[in-house]
Amino acid sequence: MSAPDATGDRPLPLAGVRVVEFSHMVMGPSCGLVLGDLGADVVKVEPVGDGDRTRRLPGSGAGFFAMYNRNKRSVAVDLHSAEGLEYARRLVATADVVTENFRPGALDALGLGYDDLREDNPGLVYCSLKGFLSGAYEQRTALDEVVQMLGGLAYMTGPPGRPLRAGASVNDVMGGVFAAVGVLAALHERRGTGRGQLVRSSLFENNVFLVGQHMAQYAVTGRAAAPMPARLSAWAVYDVFDTADGEKLFLGVVTDTQWRAFCAGFGLDDLAADTSLATNTGRVAARDRVLPRIRTTVGALDLDEAARRCAEIGLPFAPIQRPEDLAEDPHLAEPGALVDLTLPDGRGVRLPALPLELAGHRLPVRHDLPGPGEHTAQVAAEIGYTPDEVAAAVAAGTFGSTTGPG
């Protein structure tokens, strides 16, 4: 079980909870990340050899493993061998939670489905992360792009006629977070009943939940929501503006009080004196004459000066940053906002912590990124294997073992 790692001077909330993770890519590992950061002992089961194929993805997938697999231990077993399956079953017998995000039926075919495992462990919470929940699409294969196209998010993100997926794996990650919420709920219920249950989370229904605000808008107003690039904003000043040094600044003025402060801070006394612009409704109606004036005013300032004025006034604003800029963001210099990890080649990397504070503390890194099978022998000893049995299985190729990040 995991050690009583502290949040301040207290154990982490899930210390003592063991999670066995059969997962790859983003959705399943992100669930394990949340549970691991909260203190659970997450044991990731990988194939013998090079481990989870996510470790070797190129291009846009190159960061998946590094981002979603800290605070986990790795064991490597051949699940298609009798020895590997026995290891997995013995491990699950000690677990509180199993998570899996493989194709429907894959683990059932190996005897590692919920109905098989709960016979020996009736308190087990078994979490399946899939493309779809129960319904007509249940057996379809899904990707983040698939559900964004099917579920309206791509339509809302791109300009009219050009659906565009969001710039991050929003459904994979949020599907993992909702799975963790379901696991926590099931663990809480188990305290009263002693019984576990099957928890299911999905990409598509998660996506539909995210666009629910647009479904509600249609129901309330009778008008369909336009794609975000073509939307009619609820506020007159809510846009990206160019600055004199070639940078860009998002600026929002969302109350009448902010409008008066904005005009004073940016020298727009004539606009402040125009009574037709005193309310947001009036400013929206006059957007065509207000925005060009504001663009000229902001465009005469460099980014630092425009941002300084916005900060002094208390306006919502943001320079347009890229992901690679965030490692140097002054707010993220706060201890614990970014966590230090080690890549397989030995280089250090700083990545986002879980966006939570508990009792004023961020959640710590207890386990660096594991090498494939790094903890096979350690976990084997915990579930009753002798060193000789482990050595024989490694020699036979049914268990794998490495040391250090890899």
What CATH number did the domain enclosing 101 receive?
A: 3.40.50.10540
Same domain, 20 and 50: yes
Residue 382 has pLDDT above 90, yes or no: yes
CA distance 271 to 292: 12
Same domain, 184 and 50: yes
What does the pLDDT average to over 233-246? 95
> Does any domain span residue 222?
no
DSSP 241-294: EE-TTS-EEEEEE-SHHHHHHHHHHTT-HHHHH-GGGSSHHHHHHTHHHHHHHH
> Does any domain span residue 220?
no
Alpha carbon of residue 155 to chain centroid: 22
Type of residue at 201: S
Same domain, 103 and 191: yes
- In total, how many domains does the chain have? 2
Q: Residues 153-211: pLDDT tens digits?
A: 999 999 999 999 999 999 999 999 999 999 999 999 999 999 999 999 999 999 999 99
> Does any domain span residue 225?
no
Q: Residues 329-378: pLDDT tens digits?
A: 999 999 999 999 999 999 999 999 999 999 999 999 999 999 999 999 99
Same domain, 318 and 339: no
CA distance 312 to 307: 9
pLDDT of residue 383: 98
φ/ψ (deg, to 5) at 162: -135, 75
> Does any domain span residue 223?
no
Same domain, 48 and 84: yes
- 3-class DSSP state for residue 400? strand
Domain boundary among 322, 344, 365: 322
CB 241 within 8 A of CB 305: no
What does the pLDDT average to over 313-323? 97
DSSP 398: S
Same domain, 163 and 310: no
User: pLDDT confidence of 233, banded at 50, 70, 90?
Assistant: confident
pLDDT of residue 4: 42
User: Could you tell me the two tokens for 98?
Assistant: 């199993």
pLDDT of residue 161: 95
CB 217 within 8 A of CB 225: yes
pLDDT of residue 10: 80
pLDDT of residue 231: 82
Residue 406 has pLDDT above 80, yes or no: no
What CATH number did the domain enclosing 251 receive?
A: 3.30.1540.10
Same domain, 341 and 292: no
pLDDT of residue 21: 98
pLDDT of residue 164: 97
Mean pLDDT of the chain: 95
User: pLDDT confidence of 401, banded at 50, 70, 90?
Assistant: confident
User: Could you tell me the two tokens for 243?
Assistant: 């600055």
Domain boundary among 297, 322, 347: 322
User: pLDDT confidence of 117, banded at 50, 70, 90?
Assistant: very high
DSSP 344: T
| Residue 17 belongs to domain spanning | 6-211+335-400
Residue 295 has pLDDT above 50, yes or no: yes
Residue 293 has pLDDT above 50, yes or no: yes
> Does any domain span residue 388?
yes
Q: Does the model's pTM come out above 0.75?
A: yes
Helices 27-37 & 170-193 angle (0-180, nearest 10): 50
Q: How far is CA 133 from CA 138, 164, 208, 243, 259, in A?
A: 6, 24, 12, 47, 46
> Does any domain span residue 227?
no
pLDDT of residue 316: 97
Of the residues 41, 52, 78, 172, only one is catalytic, namely: 172
Q: Can 172 be counted among the known catalytic residues?
A: yes
Domain boundary among 322, 347, 366: 322
User: Could you tell me the two tokens for 6?
Assistant: 């502290």
Same domain, 68 and 125: yes
CA distance 290 to 234: 15
Q: Minimal CA–CA distance to 206: which of 182, 160, 161, 173? A: 173
Q: Residues 132-163: pLDDT tens digits?
A: 999 999 999 999 999 999 999 999 999 999 99
φ/ψ (deg, to 5) at 105: 90, -10
Same domain, 284 and 396: no
Share of residues in the chain with pLDDT > 70 (%): 97
What does the pLDDT average to over 111-127? 97
Q: To the nearest 5 percent, what fractions of the chain are helix, strand and coil?
A: 45, 15, 40
CA distance 141 to 119: 29
Type of residue at 216: A
pLDDT of residue 2: 38
pLDDT of residue 86: 98
Same domain, 60 and 110: yes
> Does any domain span residue 329?
no
pLDDT of residue 1: 35
> Does any domain span residue 251?
yes
Residue 403 has pLDDT above 70, yes or no: no
**What are the E-state strand segments in 139-217?**
198-202
Q: Look at the block and give the residue holding tokens 């916005």.
A: 310
pLDDT of residue 232: 78
Same domain, 237 and 314: yes
User: Could you tell me the two tokens for 22?
Assistant: 């059969």
Contacts of residue 266, Cβ cutoff 8 Å, sequence gap at least 6: 294, 297, 298, 309
Residue 223 has pLDDT above 80, yes or no: yes
CA distance 48 to 372: 8
Same domain, 178 and 313: no
Apex 355 CA angle, 198 and 251, nearest 5:
125
